[in-house]
Amino acid sequence: MGTPLTANSVLVEAPPLAERSRSKVGAVWKTFLSSRYGPIGLTLLLIVLIPAILAPLLAPADPFDLGAKPFLHPGADGHPLGTDHLGRDVLSQILYGARISLLVGLVAAGIAAVIGLVVGSVSGFFGGWIDIVLSRVTDMFLIIPTFFLIIIVVATLGNGIIYVMVLIGLTSWPGNARLMRAQALTLRERTFVQALNALGEGKLRILMRHIIPNGIQPVIANSTLLIAAGVLTEAALSFLGLGDANKASWGRMIYEGRTSILTAWWPSIFPGIAMIITVMAFYLIGDGLAYVLSPKSRRAGG
Protein backbone atom coordinates (compact mmCIF):
# COMPACT_ATOMS: atom_id res chain seq x y z
CA MET A 1 0.00 0.00 0.00
CA GLY A 2 2.29 2.74 -1.28
CA THR A 3 -0.13 5.60 -1.63
CA PRO A 4 -2.20 6.78 1.34
CA LEU A 5 -5.72 5.46 1.20
CA THR A 6 -8.06 8.34 0.43
CA ALA A 7 -11.71 8.63 -0.36
CA ASN A 8 -10.78 9.13 -3.99
CA SER A 9 -8.73 5.97 -4.30
CA VAL A 10 -11.67 3.95 -2.98
CA LEU A 11 -13.83 5.48 -5.63
CA VAL A 12 -11.39 4.50 -8.35
CA GLU A 13 -12.29 0.89 -7.64
CA ALA A 14 -15.98 1.66 -7.70
CA PRO A 15 -16.16 3.97 -10.71
CA PRO A 16 -17.86 7.31 -9.99
CA LEU A 17 -21.53 7.33 -10.69
CA ALA A 18 -21.31 9.86 -13.49
CA GLU A 19 -19.10 7.60 -15.62
CA ARG A 20 -21.04 4.46 -14.92
CA SER A 21 -24.31 6.14 -15.73
CA ARG A 22 -23.04 7.58 -18.98
CA SER A 23 -22.20 4.10 -20.23
CA LYS A 24 -25.54 2.92 -18.89
CA VAL A 25 -27.74 5.57 -20.53
CA GLY A 26 -27.83 3.64 -23.79
CA ALA A 27 -28.88 0.42 -22.07
CA VAL A 28 -31.55 2.19 -20.01
CA TRP A 29 -32.90 3.86 -23.11
CA LYS A 30 -33.05 0.53 -24.94
CA THR A 31 -34.87 -1.16 -22.05
CA PHE A 32 -37.32 1.76 -21.85
CA LEU A 33 -38.09 1.46 -25.56
CA SER A 34 -38.57 -2.30 -25.22
CA SER A 35 -41.18 -1.82 -22.46
CA ARG A 36 -44.80 -2.15 -23.48
CA TYR A 37 -45.98 1.29 -22.43
CA GLY A 38 -42.89 3.53 -22.41
CA PRO A 39 -42.76 4.27 -26.15
CA ILE A 40 -46.53 4.93 -26.33
CA GLY A 41 -46.20 7.39 -23.47
CA LEU A 42 -43.26 9.12 -25.11
CA THR A 43 -45.19 9.46 -28.37
CA LEU A 44 -48.19 10.94 -26.57
CA LEU A 45 -45.92 13.35 -24.71
CA LEU A 46 -44.39 14.58 -27.97
CA ILE A 47 -47.91 15.06 -29.37
CA VAL A 48 -48.57 17.47 -26.49
CA LEU A 49 -45.11 18.94 -25.97
CA ILE A 50 -44.23 19.99 -29.52
CA PRO A 51 -47.47 21.92 -30.12
CA ALA A 52 -47.11 23.50 -26.68
CA ILE A 53 -43.62 24.78 -27.54
CA LEU A 54 -44.72 25.93 -30.99
CA ALA A 55 -48.01 27.41 -29.71
CA PRO A 56 -47.35 30.96 -31.04
CA LEU A 57 -46.70 29.53 -34.52
CA LEU A 58 -49.53 26.98 -34.59
CA ALA A 59 -52.35 28.88 -32.89
CA PRO A 60 -54.87 30.17 -35.42
CA ALA A 61 -55.67 33.16 -33.18
CA ASP A 62 -54.71 34.90 -29.96
CA PRO A 63 -56.22 32.72 -27.17
CA PHE A 64 -57.74 35.80 -25.52
CA ASP A 65 -58.97 37.45 -28.73
CA LEU A 66 -62.73 38.00 -28.56
CA GLY A 67 -62.98 38.88 -32.26
CA ALA A 68 -64.85 35.86 -33.61
CA LYS A 69 -68.52 34.98 -33.18
CA PRO A 70 -69.34 32.96 -30.05
CA PHE A 71 -70.08 29.22 -30.29
CA LEU A 72 -68.80 28.72 -33.85
CA HIS A 73 -68.89 24.99 -34.68
CA PRO A 74 -65.60 23.12 -35.03
CA GLY A 75 -64.19 23.73 -38.48
CA ALA A 76 -66.17 26.92 -39.10
CA ASP A 77 -64.49 30.11 -40.27
CA GLY A 78 -60.84 29.13 -39.69
CA HIS A 79 -61.48 27.79 -36.20
CA PRO A 80 -60.61 24.05 -36.35
CA LEU A 81 -62.09 23.36 -32.91
CA GLY A 82 -64.68 26.15 -32.93
CA THR A 83 -65.02 29.11 -30.57
CA ASP A 84 -66.27 29.43 -26.99
CA HIS A 85 -69.01 31.58 -25.43
CA LEU A 86 -66.90 34.73 -25.79
CA GLY A 87 -65.78 34.00 -29.35
CA ARG A 88 -62.28 32.87 -28.33
CA ASP A 89 -60.61 30.23 -30.50
CA VAL A 90 -60.75 26.85 -28.70
CA LEU A 91 -57.66 25.35 -30.40
CA SER A 92 -55.50 28.37 -29.50
CA GLN A 93 -56.63 28.21 -25.89
CA ILE A 94 -55.80 24.48 -25.76
CA LEU A 95 -52.33 25.10 -27.22
CA TYR A 96 -51.50 27.85 -24.72
CA GLY A 97 -53.21 25.90 -21.95
CA ALA A 98 -50.81 23.01 -22.62
CA ARG A 99 -47.92 25.30 -21.66
CA ILE A 100 -49.53 26.12 -18.31
CA SER A 101 -50.50 22.51 -17.58
CA LEU A 102 -47.00 21.21 -18.36
CA LEU A 103 -45.34 24.05 -16.45
CA VAL A 104 -47.45 23.47 -13.34
CA GLY A 105 -46.94 19.69 -13.52
CA LEU A 106 -43.17 19.96 -13.99
CA VAL A 107 -42.52 22.61 -11.35
CA ALA A 108 -44.79 20.95 -8.78
CA ALA A 109 -43.20 17.53 -9.39
CA GLY A 110 -39.75 19.17 -9.21
CA ILE A 111 -40.50 20.70 -5.82
CA ALA A 112 -41.94 17.40 -4.59
CA ALA A 113 -38.83 15.57 -5.85
CA VAL A 114 -36.41 17.88 -4.02
CA ILE A 115 -38.34 17.72 -0.73
CA GLY A 116 -38.88 13.97 -1.03
CA LEU A 117 -35.20 13.31 -1.80
CA VAL A 118 -33.95 15.40 1.10
CA VAL A 119 -36.48 14.14 3.68
CA GLY A 120 -36.22 10.52 2.56
CA SER A 121 -32.44 10.33 2.31
CA VAL A 122 -31.82 12.13 5.61
CA SER A 123 -34.40 9.90 7.27
CA GLY A 124 -32.97 6.66 5.93
CA PHE A 125 -29.28 7.56 6.11
CA PHE A 126 -29.15 9.03 9.62
CA GLY A 127 -31.79 6.76 11.17
CA GLY A 128 -32.51 7.01 14.91
CA TRP A 129 -34.82 9.71 16.22
CA ILE A 130 -34.39 11.80 13.03
CA ASP A 131 -35.88 8.88 11.10
CA ILE A 132 -38.75 8.45 13.55
CA VAL A 133 -39.70 12.12 13.44
CA LEU A 134 -39.39 12.49 9.66
CA SER A 135 -41.30 9.25 9.00
CA ARG A 136 -44.15 10.40 11.23
CA VAL A 137 -44.30 13.75 9.43
CA THR A 138 -44.30 11.94 6.09
CA ASP A 139 -47.16 9.69 7.23
CA MET A 140 -49.11 12.72 8.38
CA PHE A 141 -48.77 14.42 5.01
CA LEU A 142 -49.82 11.18 3.36
CA ILE A 143 -53.09 11.18 5.29
CA ILE A 144 -54.26 14.80 5.23
CA PRO A 145 -56.79 15.68 2.51
CA THR A 146 -54.33 17.70 0.45
CA PHE A 147 -56.65 18.90 -2.29
CA PHE A 148 -58.91 20.60 0.24
CA LEU A 149 -55.88 22.07 1.94
CA ILE A 150 -54.76 23.53 -1.38
CA ILE A 151 -58.26 24.89 -2.01
CA ILE A 152 -58.33 26.58 1.40
CA VAL A 153 -54.87 28.10 1.08
CA VAL A 154 -55.51 29.33 -2.46
CA ALA A 155 -58.86 30.76 -1.39
CA THR A 156 -57.28 32.57 1.56
CA LEU A 157 -53.93 33.68 0.19
CA GLY A 158 -54.52 34.18 -3.52
CA ASN A 159 -54.50 32.14 -6.70
CA GLY A 160 -51.44 33.18 -8.70
CA ILE A 161 -49.86 30.43 -10.81
CA ILE A 162 -46.82 30.45 -8.49
CA TYR A 163 -48.96 29.72 -5.44
CA VAL A 164 -50.69 26.88 -7.26
CA MET A 165 -47.43 25.26 -8.39
CA VAL A 166 -45.70 25.61 -5.02
CA LEU A 167 -48.73 24.35 -3.08
CA ILE A 168 -49.12 21.26 -5.25
CA GLY A 169 -45.40 20.59 -4.83
CA LEU A 170 -45.49 21.12 -1.06
CA THR A 171 -48.29 18.59 -0.63
CA SER A 172 -47.22 15.81 -3.00
CA TRP A 173 -43.73 14.80 -1.76
CA PRO A 174 -44.52 12.05 0.82
CA GLY A 175 -44.47 9.22 -1.74
CA ASN A 176 -41.02 10.33 -2.92
CA ALA A 177 -39.76 10.52 0.65
CA ARG A 178 -40.85 6.96 1.36
CA LEU A 179 -39.16 5.65 -1.79
CA MET A 180 -35.94 7.55 -1.10
CA ARG A 181 -35.89 6.43 2.55
CA ALA A 182 -36.05 2.80 1.48
CA GLN A 183 -33.19 3.41 -0.96
CA ALA A 184 -31.06 5.18 1.65
CA LEU A 185 -31.63 2.36 4.15
CA THR A 186 -30.04 -0.18 1.81
CA LEU A 187 -27.40 2.15 0.36
CA ARG A 188 -25.96 3.04 3.75
CA GLU A 189 -25.09 -0.63 4.32
CA ARG A 190 -23.24 -0.93 1.01
CA THR A 191 -19.48 -1.39 1.12
CA PHE A 192 -18.56 1.79 -0.72
CA VAL A 193 -20.62 3.93 1.67
CA GLN A 194 -19.18 2.06 4.67
CA ALA A 195 -15.70 2.68 3.27
CA LEU A 196 -16.35 6.39 2.81
CA ASN A 197 -17.66 6.49 6.37
CA ALA A 198 -14.55 4.74 7.69
CA LEU A 199 -12.34 7.20 5.82
CA GLY A 200 -14.04 10.06 7.63
CA GLU A 201 -15.81 11.51 4.61
CA GLY A 202 -18.37 14.13 5.73
CA LYS A 203 -21.85 12.79 6.30
CA LEU A 204 -23.46 15.56 4.29
CA ARG A 205 -21.04 14.97 1.43
CA ILE A 206 -21.81 11.22 1.38
CA LEU A 207 -25.50 12.05 1.38
CA MET A 208 -25.36 14.52 -1.47
CA ARG A 209 -22.68 12.87 -3.63
CA HIS A 210 -23.46 9.19 -3.13
CA ILE A 211 -26.74 8.34 -1.40
CA ILE A 212 -29.02 10.62 -3.41
CA PRO A 213 -27.42 10.09 -6.87
CA ASN A 214 -27.39 6.30 -6.42
CA GLY A 215 -30.89 6.02 -5.03
CA ILE A 216 -32.71 8.56 -7.17
CA GLN A 217 -34.18 6.25 -9.84
CA PRO A 218 -37.49 5.25 -8.18
CA VAL A 219 -38.07 8.90 -7.31
CA ILE A 220 -37.66 9.83 -10.97
CA ALA A 221 -40.19 7.17 -12.00
CA ASN A 222 -42.59 8.39 -9.33
CA SER A 223 -42.07 12.00 -10.38
CA THR A 224 -43.57 11.34 -13.80
CA LEU A 225 -46.70 10.15 -12.00
CA LEU A 226 -46.62 13.32 -9.90
CA ILE A 227 -46.43 15.46 -13.05
CA ALA A 228 -49.65 13.79 -14.18
CA ALA A 229 -51.23 14.33 -10.77
CA GLY A 230 -50.12 17.97 -10.81
CA VAL A 231 -51.75 18.53 -14.21
CA LEU A 232 -55.00 17.06 -12.86
CA THR A 233 -54.87 19.11 -9.66
CA GLU A 234 -54.28 22.37 -11.53
CA ALA A 235 -57.19 21.54 -13.81
CA ALA A 236 -59.43 20.77 -10.84
CA LEU A 237 -58.49 24.08 -9.18
CA SER A 238 -59.14 26.00 -12.39
CA PHE A 239 -62.40 24.13 -12.78
CA LEU A 240 -63.42 25.57 -9.41
CA GLY A 241 -62.46 29.05 -10.58
CA LEU A 242 -59.42 28.98 -8.28
CA GLY A 243 -56.70 28.83 -10.93
CA ASP A 244 -54.73 31.79 -12.24
CA ALA A 245 -57.30 33.95 -14.04
CA ASN A 246 -54.66 35.49 -16.32
CA LYS A 247 -53.50 32.26 -17.91
CA ALA A 248 -55.16 30.02 -20.50
CA SER A 249 -56.05 26.81 -18.66
CA TRP A 250 -57.78 23.59 -19.64
CA GLY A 251 -59.57 23.38 -16.30
CA ARG A 252 -60.98 26.87 -16.69
CA MET A 253 -62.09 26.14 -20.26
CA ILE A 254 -64.11 23.18 -18.98
CA TYR A 255 -65.42 25.30 -16.10
CA GLU A 256 -66.55 28.09 -18.44
CA GLY A 257 -67.94 25.71 -21.02
CA ARG A 258 -69.94 23.62 -18.59
CA THR A 259 -72.94 25.97 -18.30
CA SER A 260 -73.51 25.85 -22.05
CA ILE A 261 -72.47 22.22 -22.59
CA LEU A 262 -75.96 21.12 -23.63
CA THR A 263 -75.97 23.57 -26.56
CA ALA A 264 -72.23 23.68 -27.39
CA TRP A 265 -70.11 20.75 -26.24
CA TRP A 266 -66.82 21.59 -27.94
CA PRO A 267 -65.44 24.33 -25.64
CA SER A 268 -65.46 21.93 -22.68
CA ILE A 269 -64.98 18.50 -24.30
CA PHE A 270 -61.82 19.22 -26.36
CA PRO A 271 -59.68 20.51 -23.47
CA GLY A 272 -60.66 17.38 -21.52
CA ILE A 273 -59.31 15.19 -24.32
CA ALA A 274 -56.07 17.18 -24.38
CA MET A 275 -55.79 16.64 -20.64
CA ILE A 276 -56.35 12.88 -20.89
CA ILE A 277 -53.59 12.61 -23.52
CA THR A 278 -51.16 14.61 -21.37
CA VAL A 279 -51.89 12.78 -18.13
CA MET A 280 -51.81 9.40 -19.84
CA ALA A 281 -48.45 10.23 -21.45
CA PHE A 282 -46.86 10.72 -18.04
CA TYR A 283 -48.48 7.64 -16.50
CA LEU A 284 -47.25 5.49 -19.40
CA ILE A 285 -43.74 6.95 -19.23
CA GLY A 286 -43.74 6.36 -15.48
CA ASP A 287 -44.60 2.71 -15.99
CA GLY A 288 -41.97 2.44 -18.72
CA LEU A 289 -39.37 3.77 -16.26
CA ALA A 290 -40.65 1.44 -13.54
CA TYR A 291 -40.10 -1.42 -16.00
CA VAL A 292 -36.52 -0.29 -16.57
CA LEU A 293 -35.95 -0.40 -12.81
CA SER A 294 -37.65 -3.74 -12.25
CA PRO A 295 -35.53 -6.87 -11.80
CA LYS A 296 -37.53 -8.47 -14.61
CA SER A 297 -36.04 -6.15 -17.24
CA ARG A 298 -32.55 -6.41 -15.72
CA ARG A 299 -32.64 -10.14 -16.21
CA ALA A 300 -33.75 -9.66 -19.79
CA GLY A 301 -31.65 -6.65 -20.81
CA GLY A 302 -28.62 -6.67 -18.51
Partner 1 sequence: MGSYIGRQLLTIIPTVLLSIVVNFALLHAAPGDPARIYAGMDTATEEQIAAMREDLGLDDPLLVQFVNYVEQLLHGNLGMSLAFRQPVYDLIMERLPATLLLTVTSAVIAFVCGTLLGAVAARKQDSATDIGLSFLNYVFFSIPAFWLGLLLILVFASKLGWFPTSGMRTARADYTGLRDWLDVAHHMVLPSMTLILVQVPIFYRITRSSVAQQQREDYVTTFRATGIPEGRIFRRYALRNAILPTVTVFGLNLGYVVTGAALVEIIFAWPGIGRLALDAVYKRDYPLLLGVYLMLAVSISLAILLTDVVYALLDPRIRLR
Q: In this structure, are residues 176 and 116 in contact, taking their beta carbons and an 8 Å threshold? A: yes
91, 207, 232, 285: which one contacts partner 1 (CB under 8 A)? Answer: 232
142, 162, 245, 300: which one contacts partner 1 (CB under 8 A)? Answer: 142
21, 46, 162, 265: which one contacts partner 1 (CB under 8 A)? Answer: 265
Asked whether position 254 contacts partner 1 by CB under 8 A, the answer is yes
Asked whether position 151 contacts partner 1 by CB under 8 A, the answer is yes
Q: What distance in Å separates the CA atoms of residue 53 and residue 7, rounded to the nearest whole number?
A: 45
Instruction: Report in angstroms how near the CB of residue 253 gets to partner 1 at its nearest.
Output: 10
- Geometric angle at alpha carbon 7, from 5 and 12, rounded to 5°: 90
Asked whether position 78 contacts partner 1 by CB under 8 A, the answer is no
Instruction: Report in angstroms how near the CB of residue 155 gets to partner 1 at its nearest.
Output: 5
Instruction: Report in angstroms how near the CB of residue 262 gets to partner 1 at its nearest.
Output: 5
Q: Using CB under 8 A, which of the segments 62-70, 162-170, 193-201, 269-277 binds partner 1?
A: 269-277
Asked whether position 155 contacts partner 1 by CB under 8 A, the answer is yes
Q: Choose between 93 and 268: whose C-beta lies nearer to partner 1.
A: 268
Q: What distance in Å separates the CA atoms of residue 296 and residue 237, rounded to the nearest whole number?
A: 39
Q: Choose between 71 and 147: whose C-beta lies nearer to partner 1.
A: 147
Nearest to 90 by CA among 280, 281, 248, 262: 248
Q: What distance in Å separates the CA atoms of residue 234 and residue 17, rounded to the nearest whole number?
A: 36
Q: Using CB under 8 A, which of the segments 84-92, 187-195, 205-213, 233-241 binds partner 1?
A: 233-241
283, 285, 291, 292: which one contacts partner 1 (CB under 8 A)? Answer: 283
Q: What distance in Å separates the CA atoms of residue 263 and residue 39, rounded to the nearest whole number?
A: 38
Asked whether position 148 contacts partner 1 by CB under 8 A, the answer is yes
Q: Choose between 7 and 277: whose C-beta lies nearer to partner 1.
A: 277
Helix (H, G, I), strand (E, B) or coil at 83: strand
Instruction: Report in angstroms how near the CB of residue 46 gets to partner 1 at its nearest.
Output: 17
Provide DSSP, 196-238.
HHHTT--HHHHIIIIIHHHH-HHHHHHHHHHHHHHHHHHHHHH
> What b/e string do you get for 111-147 counting C-beta neighbours within 10 Å, with b at 16 or more?
bbbebbbbbbbbbbbeeeeebeebbeebeebeeeebe
Q: In this structure, are residues 170 and 115 in contact, taking their beta carbons and an 8 Å threshold? A: yes
Q: Choose between 24 and 136: whose C-beta lies nearer to partner 1.
A: 136
Residue 42 has a CB neighbour count (10 Å cut-off) of: 17
Residue type, 295: P
Residue numbers of the site for partner 1 (CB under 8 A)?
36-37, 136, 139-140, 142-149, 151-153, 155-157, 228, 232, 235-236, 239-242, 251, 254, 258, 261-262, 265, 268-269, 272, 275-277, 279-280, 283-284
